[in-house]
Structure 1
């Protein structure tokens, strides 16, 4: 038993020493003042796809090789190493820095593209803030402007399309959120109409156009329905106008029957509002109370609130 334990301990010791020896060899090179040897080792490690260790050496060498002929090749591989390690934020900075420093380099086009592509990879999910998405679109468009005939320009245009689709998703979900919040506060229904219209101005070819146009009708209808009678006629008429616009724009839409139904309900809402007002006018006190209520309610529905993120 003791002999077995001794053999196992000896084996572990040999393995540990071997690992320590390898580490010691890398540390010797890292701490060495022989920059040529360090450069050679960094390139060797990159070739072996040992990017973590290669990065350590590239970071050290990037300062020491500044102004030297080898700096161009070194900084190119330094940026690629960051990309391989998925540090897209630092990689895009290094790619841009390279392209600005070496505009005539054989790697300049690739680095400008990779810098923009790293922005694309850093673009967040539609539910999050889209600042990086806008920056990615700008960077990719700038690449196309620089190299309009490049094969990479085709890919850049494709990625711009994907990023715009993401922004459309964000715009639609944000506008829809206003409608969903209408059940808690009626003013959000009016906010939904405005947000949906603005989203279509920002994205004229948005793929959700039919859903958004229907949601505009539903939002306006809900806003009118939850208003006091004195304002219902005007607000239901707006819903009817939106329904007519929908029918004209999307005559073959799968939502056409729902749009027509909302128009019919709006017309019924107008009739009911007129009847309530007519009944109220027969009683002066009741009518004044109705107007007072409506004025107070309307004063609270003029502010468009920002929905919860």
Structure 2
């Protein structure tokens, strides 16, 4: 029985492959379309996409063109060809602006860019593009059932961009370029006032200001230590029980000591 079932399975697979190969080679676009749609429904997106690719130009301007174009884009998305999928979804939205699938196409175009967003340590150009696409979807379809998913993706991508910017400021501090670290941190706090890295950035600014003061000429020390003291006060004002409390208090104690020496 097992051998019989295996034989049947092999026969079906061979017949399926043969049907697919014939469809790829035939000039009959109806055969290609029918098989492509069947393969799509069966979840065989790679094969479906190859057939859709062949017939999309043939159906342009015809009643079936809208469905063929959309399914082609979805097939590309499901096979993780996200850049190509994004391009095809964009073409769909421009060509079929009144389609019932326009909302879904807009969402999947944005999600395609989301899927191509690199890890935070890489250049975040694609991430920003994805955020803009998702934000556009949110603005255009505020009542969409996909709104929650879009918002979650925006939050995730925004955090990634923020982490990239914060790590740059942190790296400046690590290599002892304290002026650049302070400037980058100030820009970061200005650009992302609601960031989850706000506490970290405030402590980083304090640390960089303190380090800069200790490395300064004597004539600049008093002013810079006072600026560092202000950074400490800002940190503990917003985060009285900051996770950096022990380090921050230690820095403040050193600042007080240094100012005492200078005043004498």
Q: TM-score, normalization: structure 2?
A: 0.88
For 1:274 and 1:228, locate their aligned partners in 2 and report how far apart those are by CA, in whole Å. 15
Alignment of 1:93-112 (within 5 A): 93-112=87-106
User: Which residue does 2:4 correspond to in 1?
Assistant: none
The alignment status of 1:177 with 2:171, answered yes or no, reads yes
> Matched residue pairs, number?
256
Indicate yes or no: 2:130 matched with 1:136.
Answer: yes
Tell me which residue corresponds to 1:239: 228
Q: For residues 113 and 207 of structure 1, what CA distance do their matches in structure 2 show?
A: 26
- TM-score with structure 1 setting the length: 0.76
Q: Deviations over 1:7-58 (max 9, x none)?
A: xxxxxxxxx9998876554333212111111111211222222222222111
SS at match of 2:146: helix
**Alignment match, 1:194:** 183
Counterparts of 2:207 and 2:140, CA distance in 1: 46
* 8 A Cα contact 1:230 1:273, kept in partner: no
Task: Tell me what 1:147 maps to.
Answer: 141
Q: For residues 120 and 202 of structure 2, what CA distance do their matches in structure 1 show?
A: 21
Instruction: List alignment gaps of at least 5 residues for structure 2.
Output: 1-9
- Aligned partner of 1:279 in structure 2 is none
Encode CA deviations 1:56-85: one digit per residue, 9 max, x unaligned: 111110111111111111111101100110
2:52 is the alignment partner of 1:29: no
Question: Counterparts of 2:243 and 2:23 in 1: how far apart (Å)?
Answer: 69
| 2:239 aligned partner | 250
Q: Measure the CA separation in 2 of the matches of 1:51 and 1:158.
A: 27
**Which among 35, 52, 77 is matched to residue 58 of structure 1?**
52
Segments of structure 1 that go 5 or more residues without pairing to the other structure are 1-15, 183-187, 276-309
Change (3 A) 1:208 1:22: closer
CA distance in 1, matches of 2:183, 2:167: 14
Q: What is the CA RMSD across the aligned residues, in angstroms?
A: 2.3
Closer, same or farther in 2 for the Cα pair 1:17/1:158, shift >3 Å? closer
- Whether the 8 Å CA contact 1:229–1:274 is kept in 2: the answer is no
Q: Considering only CA atoms, is the larger Rg found in Structure 1 or Structure 2?
A: 1
* 1:142 positional shift: 1.0
**Aligned equivalent of 1:282:** none
